[in-house]
Structure 1
Amino acid sequence: MKIGRQAWMIQTSGDLSLKDRMALLSHSLLPALKQSIKMYAFASQSKRNVQHDLSLDDLYLPDSADVKQALQKMQSCSSEALQNHCLRTWCYAVAFAKMQNLKRDDELLAVSCLLHDLGMTEQHYQHHENCRCFAGQGAYAAKDWSIEQGWHAPRADQLFDVISMHMNPYVALEDGIEAHLLQQAASCDVIGSRGFEFSPQFRLQLQQQYPRLDFNHKMIEFSQLEAINRPKSRTAMVVQSGFKQLINLNPYLVK
């Protein structure tokens, strides 16, 4: 049973067993560590491994009613800093997809990115009574929202998995293209993972369009409190692995 998926969340309420921890260490943290090594290695080089000369002008949110409703949902309960993080995450996700020529469901990806941190909001932090994981809470909230929008159960379940799995340190392509893209994009924005694949111009453009404001401070504050309140969660494990330091040492933030 894949860690982070809905079946796992229902069975565990988001608590990691020893077996789960070992699985994350072997299948998630090691790939994430390799990405971190590349991140710091390329950050010190003058020539970056930029695969495409991307511009924000090349990225468009899908023009669908559900995406518009998801944007309104995010804005209704999220701080400006969190809204900007979600929008930057979508930009990175689509950029990664373009660079890798990945065939994705653009609407599902957009909605997942926009709603992936509902569990960080006051409105949805305790959305589901039997969940001890903010990513799971956000996934439950997003799934309930999607059903209200008229989504069929399989697609709503897919939205749950994409959002819930983003808290894994690494999500492989075979675990789902949208889930892979969301996790990689959120990680890129928060700690700089794979940031070397983007030009300084693109990152500057992104930061000017969607300023970070006090996002770093709020993310550190939230994750540390989550680790205390939900000590068996994936967030707690990530915090214990040095999450605060990774946020503060992100080498790809435009100064």
Structure 2
Amino acid sequence: MRLADIVIPETPAARAALEAATAYCSPALLNHSIRAYLWAAAYAGRRGIAFDAELLYVSSMFHDIGLVAEFDSHTVPFEEAGGHVAWIFCAGAGWPVERRVRASEVIVRHMWDKVDVTQDPEGHLLELSTGLDISGRNPQDWSEDLRAEILESYPRLGLAEEFTACITAQGTRKPDSLAGGFVRNGVAARIAANALDR
């Protein structure tokens, strides 16, 4: 599979989600969000996993929006804050309530250790793709050529340093959150060792 084989949904909601993410995310965080979708869609394509491309794309664009200053909640974990932002965005996009809830679920679940593909294919795919992009988990699941092509088109731009600072701040301020657990369990070292940054 090549980058050109990955289908980007061309719906009004998908285009607006990219526009919103571009407006609020740093260049590094924006490229991370785009790569999260690309890794996920490529993984699904190679393994025959059926998924809702628009739902996955919109969720990918907002999965880390809770890390940016404008949406950084002092009361809930960043993934829950991002889920709330997505719910409101999807309401504006005219999605029914059930679909808004699904976007929120996918975003919250990307922080889980594992998401059952039979119960939530989009959450499963986003959890896997962000695991690769942030901590370099299981790079062998994507071909070397595809990894090189995606990284050339959407470079990392210092994501490791920026994300480490963000997740450390979240974990410090919200020690009972999943981010807090990640920080205590050495996520900074895993991010620093990510082979995608070599």
Cα drift, residue 63 of structure 1:
1.1
How far apart, in 2, do the equivalents of 1:218 and 1:171 lie? 26
What residue in structure 2 maps to residue 121 of structure 1?
68
AA in 1 matched with 2:142: F
How far apart, in 1, do the equivalents of 2:167 and 2:123 lie? 21
Note closer, same or farther for the CA distance 1:161–1:211 as it changes in structure 2 (3 Å cut).
Answer: same
Match of 2:17 among 70, 91, 105: 70
SS in 1 for 2:71: coil
Runs (4+) off by over 6 Å: none
* Within-5 A mapping of 1:124-143: 124-126=71-73, 131-143=75-87
What residue in structure 2 maps to residue 60 of structure 1?
7
Calculate the aligned-residue CA RMSD, in Å. 1.2
What residue in structure 2 maps to residue 86 of structure 1?
33
Fraction of identical pairs, as percent: 27
SS in 2 for 1:167: coil
Contact 2:156 2:197 in 1 (8 A): no
* Residues 1:145 and 2:97 aligned together: no
* Number of positions where the alignment pairs a residue of Structure 1 with one of Structure 2: 198
What residue in structure 1 maps to residue 156 of structure 2?
212
Structure 1: tracts of 5 or more residues without a match: 1-53
AA in 2 matched with 1:216: A
Cα drift, residue 172 of structure 1:
2.0
AA in 1 matched with 2:21: M
How far apart, in 1, do the equivalents of 2:119 and 2:159 lie? 29
Structure 2: tracts of 5 or more residues without a match: none
How far apart, in 2, do the equivalents of 1:178 and 1:97 lie? 9
Cα drift, residue 254 of structure 1:
5.5
Please report the TM-score for the alignment, with normalisation by the length of structure 2.
0.96
* Within-5 A mapping of 1:31-50: none
Query: Which deviations, in whole Å up to 9, do the C-alpha atoms of 1:158-206 show, x marking residues without a partner?
Result: 1110001111122221330001001111111111112112222211111
How far apart, in 2, do the equivalents of 1:143 and 1:56 lie? 29
* Residues 1:182 and 2:126 aligned together: yes
Q: Which of structures 1 and 2 has the bigger CA Rg? A: 1
AA in 2 matched with 1:241: N
Query: Which deviations, in whole Å up to 9, do the C-alpha atoms of 1:68-89 show, x marking residues without a partner?
Result: 0111011110000000000111
Contact 1:207 1:254 in 2 (8 A): no
Match of 1:104 among 51, 58, 69: 51
How far apart, in 2, do the equivalents of 1:254 and 1:200 lie? 14
AA in 2 matched with 1:230: K
How far apart, in 2, do the equivalents of 1:203 and 1:149 lie? 32
Please report the TM-score for the alignment, with normalisation by the length of structure 1.
0.75
